[in-house]
Amino acid sequence: MPAAQSSPVVPLILASASPRRAALLAQAGIVPARIVAPEIDETPKKAELPRLYALRMAMAKAEAVAKREGEALVLAADTVVALGRRILPKAETDAEVERCLKLLSGRRHIVMTAIALAAPGKKIRTKIVTTRVAFKALSARDIADYVACGEGQGKAGGYAIQGRAEALVRFINGSYSNVVGLPLLETMGMLGG
């Protein structure tokens, strides 16, 4: 009887510069063969809605890396913090972190992550996961202390829920890992299917 041929293993590439996404995958027992920063323009279009922006970014990241990497499975994601139709920036300065926190103080907001999975010879599969988060009313001291700790820089909406900002959250409805940067349940489902 001839031996069954096994199909070749396609390497998984994480198209992300985010150490949080790699850590979340590792937490789920997945270590990508490589991590490649997509290097795309992430500027939102004028009046672009948060959901459409997240989806466009995730797909663009997956496409950019898939073109360079050839025969690989490419996983990309983009996380957006939104107040209504407004996309909050990835805060790059203390002033931006402070501005985001003042906007989020005492209010509910949405964290959306779009996931895109590019497989060789197949159409890119996508999924969007939404989590609702509410911050307590933040005092000037709360904001100043959080800005001073520095962890809000480089984060969508100016905060990292997995750090000191968790103490500012009074309500969360949905995936916690989504707010960190990659919804694990849905990502594992896409990778397994």
Active site residues: 78
Round to whole Å and give the CA distance between 2 and 92: 59
| 21: CB partners within 8 A, 6+ apart | 14, 77, 181, 182
User: How far apart, in Å, are the Cα atoms of 164 and each of 93, 145, 159, 160, 168?
Assistant: 17, 10, 9, 7, 8
- Kindly write down the DSSP assignment for every residue of 87-105, as one continuous string: EPPEE-SHHHHHHHHHHHT
Long-range contacts of 35-42 (CB under 8 A, 24+ apart): 36/65, 36/68, 36/69, 38/64, 38/65, 38/76, 39/64, 40/64, 42/78, 42/90
| Cβ–Cβ under 8 Å, residues 46 and 107 | no
SS3 60: helix
Distance between CA atoms of residues 2 and 30, nearest Å: 32
